[in-house]
């Protein structure tokens, strides 16, 4: 092979390496959008975002709830009084962390009931749910809750008063600041 072809091949390889390295460098620096965040991504470096304002003061969707034994449950249970519904799954590490935090708050307010809702994936067995979640867990058999609310990741918490969505949080409460904020909100309920 002549020196000319070796020089051309060397230049091509050089530009290919520079292009790939530059692409990798700039792509890794691009901020991730919320749509790219995987299910259960705790995003510990970020504050827990609030639910979209379009959901606030809207009625909680209707759907068929199933308990973990497979029996149908009257979904009106979620519409009576003050309720925090936590969307979660067994495969989500952030959900398990969230549940441990919420467990410390269950007895703090007797007028607020906490329920877990598994909106997708397999329903946990009653034993699995009891071992991992400190509140009653239901399964959204038809997936209506998440589809009507636009939920595509867990954990998500929604506060309801008599079936009306009053507040919501997307992602797990993991930082001290977000834990304090949630506790202050809970204690501040009239």
Tens digit of pLDDT for each residue in 135-181?
999 998 888 888 899 888 899 999 999 999 999 998 888 899 999 99
Task: Reply yes or no on whether the pLDDT at 13 is more than 90.
Answer: no
Handedness of CA 87, 89, 94, 100 (dihedral sign): positive
Residue of 10 and 154 predicted with greater confidence:
154
46 within a domain of the structure (yes/no):
no
Residues 94 and 161 in one domain: yes
In a domain, 124, yes or no: yes
Residues 12 and 18: their CA atoms lie apart, in Å, by 10
- Quick check: is 48 in a domain? no
Count of other CB atoms within 10 angstroms of residue 73: 16
Do 122 and 162 share a domain, yes or no? Answer: yes
- 109 within a domain of the structure (yes/no): yes
Q: Which CATH number is 124's domain given?
A: 3.40.30.10
- 166's enclosing H/E stretch is strand 164-170
pTM for the structure as a whole: 0.73
Q: Are residues 82 and 114 in the same domain?
A: yes
Above 60 in pLDDT, residue 37?
Answer: no
**Within a domain: 45:** no
Residue 154 belongs to what domain range? 53-187
Can you tell me whether residue 140 is helix, strand or coil? Answer: strand
Domain count across the chain: 2
Residues 6+ apart with CB under 8 A from 127: none
Residues 8 and 93 in one domain: no
């Amino acid at each position: 092979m002549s020196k000319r072809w070796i020089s051309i091949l060397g230049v091509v390889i050089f530009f290919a390496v520079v292009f790939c390295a530059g692409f990798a460098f700039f792509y890794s620096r691009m901020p991730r959008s919320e749509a790219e965040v995987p299910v259960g991504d705790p995003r510990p470096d970020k504050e827990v975002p609030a639910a979209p304002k379009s959901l606030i003061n809207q009625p909680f969707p209707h759907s068929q709830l199933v308990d973990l034994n497979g029996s149908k449950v009257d979904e009106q249970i979620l519409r009576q009084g003050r309720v925090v519904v936590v969307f979660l799954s067994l495969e989500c590490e952030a959900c398990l962390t969230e549940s441990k935090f919420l467990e410390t708050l269950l007895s703090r307010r007797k007028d607020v009931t906490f329920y877990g809702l598994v909106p997708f994936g397999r329903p946990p067995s009653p034993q699995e749910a009891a071992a991992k979640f400190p509140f009653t867990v239901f399964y959204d058999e038809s997936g209506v809750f998440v589809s009507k609310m636009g939920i595509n990741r867990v954990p998500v918490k929604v506060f309801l008063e008599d079936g009306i969505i009053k507040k919501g949080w997307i992602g797990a409460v993991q930082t001290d600041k977000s834990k304090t904020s949630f506790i202050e909100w809970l204690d501040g309920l009239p």
